[in-house]
Amino acid sequence: MALSVRTLDDGAWVSVADERRTGASELWRVTGVCGCPIAEFVVEGVTDVAVDGRTVAAETYGRCITCGRSTTTGPIPVGRVLEGRYEPIDRNAVRRPVGASSTV
């Protein structure tokens, strides 16, 4: 069965199956959103979310608190769908935007 995924409260949340799973103010480690090898990225809001295969990925805007760059991002993984259930990505995992040129 397909899980419903959407943004909620004007970008405050990624909702998966009507449950708020991840959202504004989280600190993510992400590659490729600024000049830093790994950005420390404060999510200020989620602009879109979609399921691609098993990966749930969110487009966001926010800021790297290492270099200060404010930016909007392409889809960044927030979780996976495994056997119809949603598993959030570990908070400390290094995330790579979906569609970024090289593989993990």
By CB under 8 A, name the binding residues for other proteins.
4, 6, 8-13, 15, 17-18, 20, 23-25, 27, 40, 42, 44-45, 47, 63, 65-66, 68, 70
Closer to other proteins by Cβ: residue 55 or 66: 66
Give the C-alpha distances (Å, rounded to integers) separating 84 from 20, 42, 76, 99.
Answer: 17, 29, 20, 24
- Distance of alpha carbon 68 from its chain centroid, rounded? 19
Closer to other proteins by Cβ: residue 90 or 104: 90
For the CB of residue 25, give the shortest distance to other proteins in the complex, in Å: 4
Q: Using an 8 Å Cβ cutoff, are 58 and 76 in contact?
A: yes
For the CB of residue 35, give the shortest distance to other proteins in the complex, in Å: 16
